[in-house]
């Protein structure tokens, strides 16, 4: 059988999606924020994972693909206002911290698993809306597709932003072997609102790089890792208005993150998705890896 899904009881129940023909294998941990923790393709590790943080449920995960919802980035003082009432939301929201429920598995045309996150008393304390979010992770060949659906079950319009935070593996000393194709010539640094021009490369001698590319001219970006002869292609739909790049000196990862809205959009309204009562929106992000 070409496609398979296996379950392993590790610290958390782990669902393993496999395309045997392509030697492609993805691990998903629903109860730890619905996260993809690992992707092995032809014996190469595509993602970075800080296993020490992953095993500590009190820490956010650094690695794999954390889910960002209902905000991307952070808010000033973790605070936003809706209907003249203040709410507190931690950086990137709560979806990456809550357990998700497995509602479907398929192994016919691909290996895919669908996860569900619904509002509850805990989420309403920080985000006063009834919602339903589903993520379908589909592995086929050298592509991992992430199809998402967001539904507003509230009686009033629901604002949110959404994004993904994939950590791609790269040896820290080989970061200067990365070549980027990003569909934007301008970015903003996290701590500096001034718009800056992008020359096509980053200074990896900096302690940290945290920039958001704006005014995207295409629905895809790519990175070539010449040290591994690995080419990564990231595609996304028009729901995403930003590509965030993050790297930390001394750490064996870089992040290339599609965000639907910039940080603090819950207060500014910039590129915020607003769903009317009963409405839904679907988005899709796909990762394709090839070796030369």
pLDDT digits (tens, 9 = 90+) for 215-255: 999 999 999 999 999 999 999 999 999 999 999 999 999 99
Query: Distance between CA atoms of 181 and 201, rounded to whole angstroms?
Result: 9
Q: Exposed, middle or buried: residue 36 (CB in 10 Å: 0-12, 13-18, 19+)?
A: buried
Give residue 186's pLDDT.
95
Q: Exposed, middle or buried: residue 130 (CB in 10 Å: 0-12, 13-18, 19+)?
A: middle
pTM: 0.97
204-216 pLDDT, tens digit each: 999 999 999 999 9
pLDDT at 1 over 90: no
> Residues with Cβ < 8 Å from 253, sequence gap 6 or more?
48, 62, 63, 167, 168, 169, 170, 247
Mean pLDDT of 26-51: 98
> Residues with Cβ < 8 Å from 9, sequence gap 6 or more?
none
Binning pLDDT at 50, 70 and 90, where does residue 138 land?
very high
- Whose tokens are 């820490």? That residue is 59
- Read off the CATH number of the domain in which 268 is found: 2.70.98.10
Query: In total, how many domains does the chain have?
Result: 1
Which tokens belong to 1? 């059988």
Residue 12's domain comprises 3-72+79-291
Q: Exposed, middle or buried: residue 182 (CB in 10 Å: 0-12, 13-18, 19+)?
A: buried
Helix (H) or strand (E) holding 45: strand 44-45
Give residue 193's pLDDT.
82
């Amino acid at each position: 059988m070409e496609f398979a899904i296996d379950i392993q009881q590790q610290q958390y129940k782990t669902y393993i999606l496999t395309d045997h023909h392509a030697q492609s294998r993805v691990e998903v941990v629903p109860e730890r924020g619905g996260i993809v923790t690992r992707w092995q393709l032809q014996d190469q590790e595509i993602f970075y994972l800080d296993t020490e943080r992953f095993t500590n449920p009190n820490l956010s995960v650094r690695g794999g693909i954390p889910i960002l919802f209902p905000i991307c980035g952070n808010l000033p003082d973790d605070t936003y206002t809706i209907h003249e009432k203040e709410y507190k939301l931690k950086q990137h929201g709560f979806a990456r911290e809550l357990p998700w429920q497995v509602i479907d598995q398929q192994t016919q045309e691909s290996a895919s698993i669908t996860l569900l996150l619904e509002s509850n008393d805990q989420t309403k304390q920080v985000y006063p809306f009834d919602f339903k979010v589903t993520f379908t992770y589909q592995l086929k060949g050298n592509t991992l597709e992430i199809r998402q659906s967001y539904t507003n079950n509230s009686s009033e319009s629901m604002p949110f932003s959404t994004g993904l935070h994939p950590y791609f593996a790269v040896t820290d000393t080989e970061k200067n072997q990365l070549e980027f194709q990003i569909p934007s010539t301008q970015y903003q640094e996290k701590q500096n609102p001034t718009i800056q021009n992008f020359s096509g490369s980053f200074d990896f001698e900096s302690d940290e790089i945290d920039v958001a590319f704006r005014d995207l001219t295409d629905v895809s970006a790519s990175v070539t890792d010449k040290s591994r002869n690995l080419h990564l292609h990231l595609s996304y739909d028009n729901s995403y208005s930003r590509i965030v790049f993050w790297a930390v000196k001394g750490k064996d990862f870089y992040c290339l993150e599609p965000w639907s809205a910039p940080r603090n959009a819950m207060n500014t309204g910039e590129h915020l998705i607003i769903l009317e009562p009963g409405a839904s929106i679907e988005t899709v992000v796909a990762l394709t890896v090839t070796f030369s």
